[in-house]
Amino acid sequence: MTTYLLSIGIILLVDVPQGQKSPGKTDVHAEVNSFVHSERLPKAQSVNILFQLPSEDLFVFWVDYGDANEVYSRATGLKRQNKIGWLAFRDSESLDLNHFHHYDIDSADSLLFAGYFWRMLESSDLPVYRYALLPVLVKDKDTPAETLKRIAEGLHTFIDPHLAHLMLTNEKVRVRRDILTLIANLPVFRGDAYRKVRQDAKNLLSKNAK
């Protein structure tokens, strides 16, 4: 709750949201629209903002594209200050996704590593948090080791074998015994989806010990 003093002497109390969903395309930032247009996705639909932090100039957005046979393809992107790019694609058009501009994380993206941002995005759109943001963080060489460790800890309560295997492709993870130990000790759930990644992590621990 933030207090504003108006010129006529009345005190107005206004709730200022720290993170919120946008009601639709009327709130789409002009730069987001311009970026999506420049990417030339086939038969792109209207852009939708699904999460925004205007005070940080941060927008998470998505756009459907292609021919809707059963479901449209979808691209999810991120704008953060002067940077913009795609986080993830759900593509059924057989596009070469390497031709598109993906969001490149660097050391200035500290907000993307913050727990409070993760919680807000997760509550706004769980699939985007789990299957768009986290994989991008795991794959990027500039993601801090402590952030990668928190992601590994999260794998103990949310089953995601793809993300776990992806972690072992990160060079920081491959040499950090504390993170490898977390992965090597992932719990056994029904079907044991973590069996292979646990063994791979144990093999890396043994290799690093030599």
pLDDT band at 5 (very low <50, low <70, confident <90, very high): very low
Q: What is the pLDDT of residue 6?
A: 30
Q: Is the pTM of this model over 0.85?
A: no
Positive or negative: CA dihedral 92, 96, 99, 102: positive
Angle subtended by helix axes 177-184 and 195-209, to nearest 10: 150
Domain ranges of the chain: 1-117, 144-210
Is residue 80 predicted with pLDDT exceeding 90?
yes
Higher local confidence (pLDDT), 162 or 93: 162
Is residue 11 predicted with pLDDT exceeding 50?
no
Mean pLDDT of 127-131: 96
pLDDT band at 174 (very low <50, low <70, confident <90, very high): very high
pLDDT band at 24 (very low <50, low <70, confident <90, very high): very low
Query: What is the percentage of the chain residues whose pLDDT exceeds 90?
Result: 76
Is residue 131 predicted with pLDDT exceeding 80?
yes
Q: Torsions phi, psi of 193, nearest 5? A: -65, -15
Is residue 86 predicted with pLDDT exceeding 60?
yes
Q: What is the pLDDT of residue 19?
A: 54
